[in-house]
Structure 1
Amino acid sequence: MNKIDFFFALGRPLSPLYSGLMSTRAAFYKKSIFKRHTLPVPVISIGNLTMGGSGKTPMVLSLARMLKQAGYYPAIISRGYGGKANKKSNTVSTGKKILLSQKEAGDEPFMLAKILEGVPVITGKSRIHPCKQAIESHDADILLLDDGFQHLAINRDIDIVLFNATTLAGNSRVFPGGVLREPVSALKRCHAFMLTGVTGSNRERADQFSILLKKKFPEKPLFFSKIFGYEVWAADEKESVGGFSDLGRTSGFCAIANPIRFQDSMEMNGIDLVQFSPFEDHRKYDQRLMDRLCNEAKGAGAQSLLTTEKDFVKIDHLKRTLPLYVLKVKQKEDKEFAEYILKTIQKYQ
């Protein structure tokens, strides 16, 4: 039994209590005992029922690009987890200029701001404040709530719940006895499901899980986001390299919710991985840690370092004594997903 399973076993007796509290909270919002805000523009929430990574940030990125291409002016609203900016509303990016550092913004908002052009990214613990700022100061005509499923104070027009195709619903127990943030009954309030990270190796399990969801929630559409390839970028040149062999013997590292997925991706692509260093999600990097990673990699005979996009935005400014590469995942949603999103929000125009 690993540490996480041991923790869940200890916490299992408290699961009904936590589950009850979350259900009561949701009921209070539904009955307007707790205040809910309705905004003058469409709101799309991207969230999950489970703890840990389910592909929310890539999905937000994909939706923002889709909406821009369709002629909308979206803004991304995030809690800014881990960021030091503590105003009611913190503008990470205006869409034209990045105003906050990674430490101020938090990992995911800063990454989105670095990648997306023309899309404001704003954080705030109580999301009504960044929502209002996005509309009033940045002329956003549609809002994307990153990790918004449990943030019930904002009414939404589309509520999408993501499940990773590998981890699915975990042990199907509510925290602290498992990975669920709320009981399964909470899924009644969402509008659609998305299974992310679908590959050839997990497709069968994803299909079986989708059958269960459709049986329990037949009125809700379900979509897949499939991984169709990977590419490696050289950090210093900011461009794609010819192939995985260019890395030579490499040492991988990351600080994400599911590091095993990253390790599996490297090994699946035949990357010559001589060492792998996983850290806790949202780990802060500094020069001392980067020096250690370089020295340990050299000691293991590595010729390069390899990390994720999310980690790269946190270490780009640090000095390195080995070439650094970034593994980028290429994935695409079902074409019906875009049709569903655009058709649904057109009702609110």
Structure 2
Amino acid sequence: MSEHLNILYGFGRPLSPFYGLAMSIRAAFYKKGLLRKQRLPVPVISVGNLTLGGTGKTPMTIYLAKLLRAHAPAIVSRGYGGRAKERVNVVADGSGIYLDAVTAGDEPFYMAENLPGVPVVTSRRRLDGGRYAVDSLHARTVILDDGFQHQALERDLDLVLFKVDSFLGNNRVFPGGDMREPLMALRRADAFVLTCVNDTNRERAQAIKRALLKKFPQIPVFTAEYHPICLVTPNKKEIGLAEAKRKAFFGFCGLAQPASFVRSLESAGLQTVGFQVFRDHCRYFKPELEFLKKRIAGCSANALVTTEKDMVKLAGKELPLPLYALRMEMRPEADFDAFVLGKISSTS
């Protein structure tokens, strides 16, 4: 955790008990029916987390959409950071993409680009987006991106993701820490997924798995790894990693947890001669691009490398070197697919 964030959490710590209590009361109201939950006529899967920041929700959402292609999935996202303000915004309808990354938000646009044939919509109220996906886009399964705290919509499978290296952060509830809700909110989950498992943290992942099973013995725990596949250019041409290893890259990203991208570059065997971190969901306006150009000028790089989510926000931007994005693939453990498909089949 950065020193800047530590200071902010220090100021917010006295308010954490009140925020945690408010979230617990809200959850209790939904459980008792004092706040109304509504159901769609198709199976609904929520992909979410308990903590702030990245845990791999977008890669998991993409993975599920591919797994469930036979069930006509549609993705409903809040569209964080996007400029579209309609009740429901159609990013893609399964036959074409209609909003760019600035309008839709970088993550919905990224999902639409990587899931041809799968509708993607954004809506502040997931219920509105889900209804539109079913009624107008003929979805037979709805996947909620970042849906764990959005309890107004009933779901048939609630997946909660944890990044192994960060897990619960500082174990405090916002605004004094990383947790969006108190720990016992996890009783709503149907399964936990520990993401970003690799050889260096595998023992930690197993320790976390044992702790979760001890605390919530009725909830299964799965693990998932990320593997570098190739590089892609802005026009979607794929470059093999063997060829890419001949280049000297300057890396950059705008992620909540940039260290994970650095590790991905290392695992891909790419040579980096410099690296720059930008704020999460950075839009790469002129000041950021000018700063990036100055950083690149002082090193021996002959190419740039970033994440696919960052690349979608750089379309049409002038850069001093060729740009590539590292394509990663999520690989959950073997039993995960059967678990998901079994849940969907039982509710269809």
Query: After TM superposition, is the score higher than 0.5?
Result: yes
In 2, Cα distance between the equivalents of 1:167 and 1:72?
34
In 1, Cα distance between the equivalents of 2:241 and 2:155?
43
Partner-residue secondary structure (3-state), 2:328: strand
The answer for the alignment partner of 2:45 in structure 1 is 44
Partner-residue secondary structure (3-state), 2:196: strand
TM-score when normalising by structure 2: 0.95
Matches within 5 A, 1:1-349: 2-68=3-69, 71-235=70-234, 238-243=237-242, 246=245, 248-286=247-285, 289-349=288-348
Deviation at 1:3, TM superposition (A): 1.3
In structure 2, the CA distance between the partners of 1:152 and 1:285, relative to structure 1 (3 Å rule), is same
Partner-residue secondary structure (3-state), 1:46: strand
Partner-residue secondary structure (3-state), 1:199: coil
* Counterpart residue identity of residue 323, structure 2: L
Is the contact made by 2:228 and 2:264 (CA closer than 8 Å) also made in structure 1? no
Cα offsets for 1:90-133 (capped at 9, x unmatched): 00000111111111100110100111011100001111111111
Deviates more, 1:339-348 or 1:313-322: 313-322
* Counterpart residue identity of residue 36, structure 1: K
In 2, Cα distance between the equivalents of 1:278 and 1:165?
21
Deviation at 1:64, TM superposition (A): 0.1
Gaps of 5+ in 1: none
Cα offsets for 1:142-163 (capped at 9, x unmatched): 1000000000110000000000
Deviation at 1:227, TM superposition (A): 2.6
In structure 2, the CA distance between the partners of 1:286 and 1:4, relative to structure 1 (3 Å rule), is closer
Deviates more, 1:142-151 or 1:294-303: 294-303
Deviation at 1:237, TM superposition (A): 6.3
Partner-residue secondary structure (3-state), 1:319: coil
In 1, Cα distance between the equivalents of 2:80 and 2:290?
26
* Counterpart residue identity of residue 98, structure 2: L
Deviation at 1:51, TM superposition (A): 0.4
In 1, Cα distance between the equivalents of 2:122 and 2:77?
5
Deviation at 1:332, TM superposition (A): 0.6
In 2, Cα distance between the equivalents of 1:5 and 1:84?
30
Q: Percent identity among equivalent residues?
A: 43
Is the contact made by 1:236 and 1:324 (CA closer than 8 Å) also made in structure 2? no
In 2, Cα distance between the equivalents of 1:173 and 1:244?
45
Deviates more, 1:73-82 or 1:329-338: 329-338
Partner-residue secondary structure (3-state), 2:255: coil
TM-score when normalising by structure 1: 0.95
Deviates more, 1:186-195 or 1:233-242: 233-242
Gaps of 5+ in 2: none
